[in-house]
Structure 1
Amino acid sequence: MQASVHTFDPDSGAGSVLLDTGRLLPFDADVFGASGLRHLRVGQRVSVEASEDDPETTGAHLTRLWIVGIGEGEQIR
């Protein structure tokens, strides 16, 4: 699914994305580290996978983050 970067802290590597549905999902430094990316900017479009089949579920968080064509990243469980 697609999302836009909502927050990103380059020092910690953690942040959050805003899904196209309007749902805000956090990601931690491990997810960013596995992405192979070096930086994210607020508003940047990214592809994501969530911990739940339905990312609208309470407690869902990102397990994978990537930009198509720039690093597919590995999934964090």
Structure 2
Amino acid sequence: MQATVATFSAETRSGTVLLDDGRRLSFDASAFDRSGLRMLRLGQRVVMRVVDGRVEALNHIALPLD
């Protein structure tokens, strides 16, 4: 699933993404830590694994999730 970064806190390593259908999902530090990234920019496109409405993993759209 793809989305756009809406908010990101480098301090808490958490934020929200906006799905293409307008829904907003939150992600926590554990989902961000799985990415191996150091930062996300507002407006950046990401690919995510969502399980039961919860973001389990996310990464830059050009990079694999695992």
Provide TM-score, normalisation by structure 1: 0.77
Greater Rg by CA: 1
Question: Going by fraction, where is strand more abundant, 1 or 2?
Answer: 2
Which 4+ runs in 1 deviate beyond 2 A? none
Question: Match for residue 35 of structure 1?
Answer: 35
State the aligned residue count.
66
Calculate the aligned-residue CA RMSD, in Å: 1.2
- Unmatched 5+ residue regions in structure 2? none
Partners of 1:36 and 1:73 within 8 A in 2: no
What does the per-residue CA deviation read over 1:16-51, in whole Å, with 9 as the maximum and x for residues that have no partner?
100111110000001101111110011000001111
Partners of 2:35 and 2:59 within 8 A in 1: yes
Q: Which amino acid aligns with 1:63?
A: E
User: Does 1:63 pair with 2:56?
Assistant: yes
Provide TM-score, normalisation by structure 2: 0.89
Identity of counterpart residues, as a percentage?
A: 44
- Unmatched 5+ residue regions in structure 1? 53-59
